[in-house]
Structure 1
């Protein structure tokens, strides 16, 4: 179960990445920090939350936060430079944000081209 999160937690993640997250993602995180989303092909994704250390339960539930999930992905050879991993499907594929672009893209760990997608609550 995802909890709502406060604006300051989103701002902390944005400061780390050096960019503002898209408004649609920010609004989603403010209401439900993490949880499941689906893409326009009706595939299920787990949305990475922003870190929330306001209490122990929220800290545990945000252990796989967007920063923690993005940092190792950026070390992979075929991961786009400065992209942000915002969701995963459990098989190694990710929903990413590219620098200077507010669109969501499916990134395949098998070197397939990016696929632009939309996200909505599952």
Structure 2
């Protein structure tokens, strides 16, 4: 793997991990750059970069929310969704491709009302 490939792959992952929730876990995971979190996905990102392929991130049912109320404040888009959309161009410039699922198709499998995904 070339140094340039590694640099690009790390820049993509740092964009993703910059807004990661860091509650609990090992002390190193609370640092701005956690090698453990970075290394979990870095190999796949490096392979995509090396092949000249975009790094694909799938956002299932975006902007639908997890049914776990301990993790989300409600069903409407929030600041996390806004930040993701604002960072989309930056992520794509770094070699990422963001694919979002359709909440209208996912609501059948999740405890959402039709109004919450329309």
TM-score (norm 1): 0.29
Structure ranking higher on relative contact order (CA contacts 8 Å, 6+ apart): 2
TM-score (norm 2): 0.29
